[in-house]
Protein backbone atom coordinates (compact mmCIF):
# COMPACT_ATOMS: atom_id res chain seq x y z
CA UNK A 1 0.00 0.00 0.00
CA UNK A 2 2.85 2.38 0.65
CA UNK A 3 6.42 2.52 -0.58
CA UNK A 4 9.23 4.27 1.24
CA UNK A 5 12.77 4.86 0.07
CA UNK A 6 15.32 2.80 2.02
CA UNK A 7 17.44 5.90 2.60
CA UNK A 8 17.55 6.82 6.29
CA UNK A 9 16.14 3.88 8.15
CA UNK A 10 14.25 0.64 8.06
CA UNK A 11 10.92 2.32 7.29
CA UNK A 12 12.49 4.80 4.86
CA UNK A 13 13.11 8.55 4.91
CA UNK A 14 13.58 8.47 8.68
CA UNK A 15 9.92 7.75 9.42
CA UNK A 16 8.84 5.60 12.33
CA UNK A 17 5.68 3.50 11.99
CA UNK A 18 3.23 2.37 14.69
CA UNK A 19 2.25 -0.36 14.30
CA UNK A 20 5.48 -1.34 12.56
CA UNK A 21 4.44 -4.46 10.68
CA UNK A 22 0.71 -4.80 10.12
CA UNK A 23 -2.63 -3.10 10.47
CA UNK A 24 -5.54 -5.02 11.98
CA UNK A 25 -9.14 -4.60 10.89
CA UNK A 26 -11.80 -6.20 13.11
CA UNK A 27 -15.11 -7.63 11.91
CA UNK A 28 -17.90 -7.03 11.07
CA UNK A 29 -16.98 -5.89 7.57
CA UNK A 30 -20.47 -4.80 6.53
CA UNK A 31 -19.57 -1.18 7.46
CA UNK A 32 -16.38 0.82 7.02
CA UNK A 33 -13.72 -0.39 9.47
CA UNK A 34 -11.01 2.11 10.40
CA UNK A 35 -7.59 1.55 11.90
CA UNK A 36 -4.81 4.06 12.48
CA UNK A 37 -1.18 4.25 11.50
CA UNK A 38 1.06 6.70 13.34
CA UNK A 39 3.89 8.13 11.23
CA UNK A 40 6.64 9.78 13.25
CA UNK A 41 9.43 12.02 12.02
CA UNK A 42 12.34 11.78 14.47
CA UNK A 43 14.64 13.76 12.16
CA UNK A 44 15.49 17.45 12.33
CA UNK A 45 14.01 18.10 8.87
CA UNK A 46 10.47 18.07 7.52
CA UNK A 47 9.51 14.86 5.70
CA UNK A 48 6.70 14.38 3.21
CA UNK A 49 4.87 11.12 2.55
CA UNK A 50 2.30 9.79 0.12
CA UNK A 51 0.37 6.53 0.49
CA UNK A 52 -0.44 4.74 -2.75
CA UNK A 53 -2.67 1.70 -3.07
CA UNK A 54 -3.28 -0.79 -5.84
CA UNK A 55 -6.75 -1.35 -4.36
CA UNK A 56 -8.30 2.16 -4.12
CA UNK A 57 -11.84 0.77 -4.01
CA UNK A 58 -10.95 -1.45 -1.05
CA UNK A 59 -8.99 1.06 1.07
CA UNK A 60 -9.37 4.77 1.74
CA UNK A 61 -6.45 6.60 3.39
CA UNK A 62 -6.76 10.00 5.08
CA UNK A 63 -4.61 11.98 4.83
CA UNK A 64 -3.03 10.15 1.90
CA UNK A 65 -0.19 12.67 1.72
CA UNK A 66 1.21 15.36 3.99
CA UNK A 67 4.33 16.98 5.35
CA UNK A 68 5.39 15.86 8.81
CA UNK A 69 7.28 18.56 10.67
CA UNK A 70 10.62 17.72 12.25
CA UNK A 71 10.24 15.92 15.58
CA UNK A 72 6.47 15.44 15.26
CA UNK A 73 4.07 12.69 14.20
CA UNK A 74 0.80 12.35 12.34
CA UNK A 75 -2.04 9.85 12.57
CA UNK A 76 -3.18 8.34 9.28
CA UNK A 77 -6.58 6.64 9.12
CA UNK A 78 -6.83 3.57 6.89
CA UNK A 79 -10.42 2.63 6.14
CA UNK A 80 -11.37 -0.80 4.82
CA UNK A 81 -14.51 -0.43 2.72
CA UNK A 82 -17.48 -2.74 3.42
CA UNK A 83 -17.64 -6.09 1.66
CA UNK A 84 -19.81 -9.20 1.81
CA UNK A 85 -18.48 -12.30 3.49
CA UNK A 86 -19.92 -15.52 4.90
CA UNK A 87 -19.38 -15.65 8.67
CA UNK A 88 -19.33 -19.47 8.48
CA UNK A 89 -16.31 -19.45 6.17
CA UNK A 90 -12.74 -18.44 6.82
CA UNK A 91 -12.11 -14.70 6.79
CA UNK A 92 -10.00 -13.21 4.02
CA UNK A 93 -6.84 -11.65 5.37
CA UNK A 94 -5.19 -8.86 3.35
CA UNK A 95 -1.40 -8.76 3.60
CA UNK A 96 0.19 -5.34 3.65
CA UNK A 97 3.65 -4.17 4.56
CA UNK A 98 3.49 -0.37 4.97
CA UNK A 99 7.06 -0.11 3.72
CA UNK A 100 6.37 -1.91 0.45
CA UNK A 101 3.94 -1.46 -2.46
CA UNK A 102 1.16 -4.02 -2.73
CA UNK A 103 1.93 -6.73 -5.25
CA UNK A 104 0.63 -10.19 -5.91
CA UNK A 105 -2.48 -11.45 -4.13
CA UNK A 106 -4.11 -8.92 -1.83
CA UNK A 107 -5.59 -11.47 0.52
CA UNK A 108 -4.91 -14.80 2.16
CA UNK A 109 -7.23 -16.98 4.22
CA UNK A 110 -7.14 -17.22 8.00
CA UNK A 111 -9.46 -18.83 10.49
CA UNK A 112 -9.34 -15.90 12.94
CA UNK A 113 -11.96 -13.17 13.12
CA UNK A 114 -9.50 -10.38 12.39
CA UNK A 115 -8.12 -9.01 9.19
CA UNK A 116 -4.64 -7.70 9.47
Global pTM exceeds 0.75: no
Nearest to 115 by CA among 57, 60, 106: 106
Q: What is the predicted pLDDT for the residue at 6?
A: 35
Backbone torsion region of residue 54, taken as left when φ is above 0, otherwise alpha when ψ lies between -120 and 50, otherwise beta: alpha
Q: Across the chain, what does the average pLDDT equal? A: 76
Q: What is the predicted pLDDT for the residue at 84?
A: 81
Q: What is the predicted pLDDT for the residue at 44?
A: 95
Is the Cβ–Cβ distance between 1 and 53 less than 8 Å?
Answer: yes
Is the Cβ–Cβ distance between 111 and 94 less than 8 Å?
Answer: no
pLDDT tens-digit profile of 13-35? 589 999 998 889 898 889 999 99
For residue 92, name the pLDDT band (cuts at 50, 70, 90).
Answer: low
Ordered structural domains, the chain, with CATH: 16-99 (2.60.40.10)
Nearest to 47 by CA among 9, 13, 17, 20: 13
Amino acid sequence: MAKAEQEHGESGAGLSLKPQHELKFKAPFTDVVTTNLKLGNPTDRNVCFKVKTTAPRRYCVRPNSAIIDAGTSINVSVMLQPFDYDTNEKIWRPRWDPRQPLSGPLVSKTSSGAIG
